[in-house]
Amino acid sequence: MPARLETQTRGADTLAALRALVLPDAALQDALGDLEDFAVFAARTAEAARARGLDVDAETVRDLLHTLPETPSIDGFAPAPGWLPAEVAQVDGRAAVAWLRFGRRRLAESFYDDSLVRQRFLPFNRLFAVRTPLDDLEAWAGDLPALEPAGLVFHMSRCGSTLAARMLAASPAHVVLSEAAPINAVTQRADLDDAAKVALLRAMVAALGQARNGESRLFLKLDCWHSRDLPLFRRAFPDTPWVFLYREPIEVMVSQTRRRGVQMVPSLVSPSTFGIDLPDGVPDEDYCARVLAAVCEAAARHHPAGGGRLVSYRQLPEALFTEILPHFGVTPSDAEVGVMRAAALRDAKAPEQAFAPDVHDKRQAATPALRAICARRLDAAYQRLEAMRAAQIPLSSRT
């Protein structure tokens, strides 16, 4: 056998032996899982392996870390609490969930994808991430320390939903899932009947929304197109209240022309997701407006079914305390209010920066052509939302 192939084979065998040692051992996962320094991780992993009868040195572990080993698929494997779904993909012709260990680390970033970036880099997840069949999720999720969602946040996009999510996440009592792709993978499944999709959605949310630090409340901030899936979420979580956040269309459109969201790129999010037919069309500003209209029209269409509350960007950040949390049935402590208000002082998408109001800037940047597109495509949906919001019963009047 050529020397290079022999080395690769030996490395694969060593990695398989390490995985067999570590994956069933929750205590060993806790000891190794949060280490960031590759050299320290390699040394401690080798030390733990030798203590358990596996002859491996730190240099071998370091070499394995730098080869980016393929994530294995393991039938029947149940990740321990603290492992979260990272993605759902087709592997060998079947849907599989990729798992990363988060341990007790909170989801502190603005988006779930940002949290995944950090976790993927950790040496533990480079070596020990696994895939399991999606079909196994329901059976495994029932044993998790899962929270029932306390509130669902739907939104128009670029309308303050990330601000609301970051304010909610500032409380240590809260788990906030912000636009988690594994949830979208479930909603997009066309091969499932309604009951099966509801069951799988509940299982996925249970897997993602684990109370890993004694948290008591879970909130889901969904992708903007999920307003069209509102009936599905209501069937999955019939007792969970929801809000829909929206903003003056011209302000949202200016934001989208400056930096398009994925929903505005047909190759990333299919036009059919919004009920739009675009044969040989151009995803221009008019297309962006059609996407936003579809999102807003869905919220307005489903609002009369109950459980929801409409919130305008103009009402934020105070609306978190006067509209959103009361609607969710949450009375925060004084300490929670303090950290939430502090979060509102930072830019939601770039928390290292102070928040700077941009309404005037966006209105000044709007061209006559963009205003005409908004008037043609979005004004009717926006005015309908405004009228419905004005007709809402004030929360202070509820008995």
Give the pLDDT mean for 319-347: 95
Structure confidence at residue 377 as a pLDDT band (50, 70, 90) = very high
Structure confidence at residue 70 as a pLDDT band (50, 70, 90) = confident
Structure confidence at residue 398 as a pLDDT band (50, 70, 90) = low
pLDDT for residue 387: 97
pLDDT in tens, 205-264: 999 999 999 999 999 999 999 999 999 999 999 999 999 999 999 999 999 999 999 999
What are the distances in angstroms from CA 246 to CA 19, 132, 158, 250, 299?
A: 47, 38, 8, 12, 10
Q: Half-sphere exposure of 152 toward its Cβ, with a 13 Å CA cutoff? A: 28
pLDDT for residue 323: 97
260 alpha-carbon distance from chain centroid: 19
Structure confidence at residue 399 as a pLDDT band (50, 70, 90) = very low
pLDDT for residue 10: 63
Please, which residues bridge with residue 146 across strands?
A: 210
CATH fold, domain 144-397, is: Rossmann fold (3.40.50)
pLDDT for residue 396: 67
Dihedral-angle region of residue 21 (phi above 0 means left; psi in -120 to 50 means alpha; beta otherwise): alpha
Is the pLDDT at 4 greater than 60? The verdict is: no
Dihedral-angle region of residue 121 (phi above 0 means left; psi in -120 to 50 means alpha; beta otherwise): alpha
Is the pLDDT at 126 greater than 90? The verdict is: yes
pLDDT in tens, 264-288: 999 999 999 999 988 777 889 999 9
pTM of the model: 0.93
pLDDT for residue 282: 80
What are the distances in angstroms from CA 171 to CA 159, 183, 218, 281?
A: 22, 23, 11, 45
Q: Is the peptide bond before 317 cis (omega within 30 degrees of 0)?
A: yes
What are the sequence ranges of the domains in the chain? 3-65, 83-133, 144-397
pLDDT for residue 202: 96
pLDDT for residue 3: 38
* CA proximity to 320, closest of 344, 296, 299, 355: 344
Is the pLDDT at 9 greater than 80? The verdict is: no
CA distance linking residue 350 with residue 166, whole number of Å: 11
- Residues 6 or more apart whose CB falls under 8 angstroms from that of 82 comprise 29, 33, 101, 102, 103, 104, 210, 212
pLDDT for residue 93: 86
Is the pLDDT at 145 greater than 90? The verdict is: no
Give the pLDDT mean for 78-92: 91
H-type helices in the chain, by residue range?
3-22, 26-32, 38-51, 58-65, 112-121, 123-128, 137-141, 161-169, 181-187, 194-208, 230-236, 249-258, 285-302, 319, 325-327, 334-343, 359-365, 368-377, 379-390
pLDDT for residue 397: 59
Is the pLDDT at 5 greater than 60? The verdict is: no
pLDDT for residue 6: 41
pLDDT for residue 140: 85
Percent of the chain past pLDDT 70, that is, above it, reads 96
267 alpha-carbon distance from chain centroid: 20
